[in-house]
């Protein structure tokens, strides 16, 4: 299992979008 952290000190910079994109890419790769 791989762990990826998405960190930003400023709010409203699209962390949720980036996280969902990374999660869907990881699922596609298996």
Using DSSP, how many helices (H) and how many strands (E) does the chain show?
A: 1, 0
pTM of model > 0.85:
no
Give residue 16's Cα distance to chain centre: 7
pLDDT of residue 6: 83
pLDDT tens digits for 1-30?
778 888 888 888 788 888 888 889 888 887
pLDDT of residue 16: 85
CA within 13 Å, CB half, 26 = 10
Give dist(CA 30, CA 24) in Å, integer.
10
What would the two tokens of residue 15 be? 């962390």
């Amino acid at each position: 299992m791989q762990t990826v952290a998405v960190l930003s000190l400023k709010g409203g910079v699209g962390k949720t979008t980036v996280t969902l994109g990374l999660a869907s890419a990881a699922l596609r790769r298996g």
